[in-house]
């Protein structure tokens, strides 16, 4: 069974600090996909990134970067020079390719990030 663990529940930083959100996953599939979503106070989840299990290249998008390491089953998310607008709940999620048309996302419990001015 697939599982996503986000051990950090709440993180508070001061603006301009760097912050890393951890994500550890479990799956028996060799082909799977990892996601990060952001949930601002308005409630909807906003897609941030998708990574497949065969692509271990790290990705950078502006102030955001992601570190995928299959050896430790981790897919961590770093925000550089955090801003108040980054305050939100962040979810890591996993889906397995063998589920085919019945694939579904399994989410971690989320990390509440508060960025103070």
Partner 1 sequence: DGGITQSPKYLFRKEGQNVTLSCEQNLNHDAMYWYRQDPGQGLRLIYYSQIVNDFQKGDIAEGYSVSREKKESFPLTVTSAQKNPTAFYLCASSIRGLANTEAFFGQGTRLTVV
Residue 35 as a binder of partner 1 (CB under 8 A): the answer is yes
Strand 111-116 with 10-14, pairing = parallel
| DSSP classification of residue 30 | S
Q: Which of 32, 68, 75, 90 binds partner 1 (CB under 8 A)?
A: 32
Q: Which residue number, 14 or 52, has a Cβ lying nearer to partner 1?
A: 52
Q: Which residue number, 17 or 31, has a Cβ lying nearer to partner 1?
A: 31
Q: Which of 20, 72, 83, 103 binds partner 1 (CB under 8 A)?
A: 103
Residue 24 as a binder of partner 1 (CB under 8 A): the answer is no
Q: Where are the beta strands (DSSP E) in 3-117?
A: 3-5, 10-14, 19-21, 24-26, 32-39, 46-52, 59-61, 64-69, 74-79, 88-96, 106-107, 111-116
Interacting residues toward partner 1 by CB under 8 A: 6, 9, 31-33, 35, 37, 42-47, 50, 52, 91, 95-97, 99-110
């Amino acid at each position: 069974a697939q599982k996503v663990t986000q051990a950090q529940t709440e993180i508070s930083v001061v603006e301009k600090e760097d912050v890393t959100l951890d994500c550890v996953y479990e799956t028996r599939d060799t082909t799977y996909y990892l996601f990060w979503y952001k949930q601002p106070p308005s409630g909807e989840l906003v897609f941030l990134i998708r990574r497949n299990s065969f692509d271990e290249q790290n990705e950078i998008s502006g102030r955001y970067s992601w570190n995928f390491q299959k050896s430790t089953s981790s897919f961590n998310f770093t925000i550089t020079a955090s801003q108040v607008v980054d305050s939100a709940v962040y979810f890591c999620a996993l889906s397995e390719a063998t589920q085919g048309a019945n694939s579904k996302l399994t989410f971690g419990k989320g990390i509440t990030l508060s960025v103070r001015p």
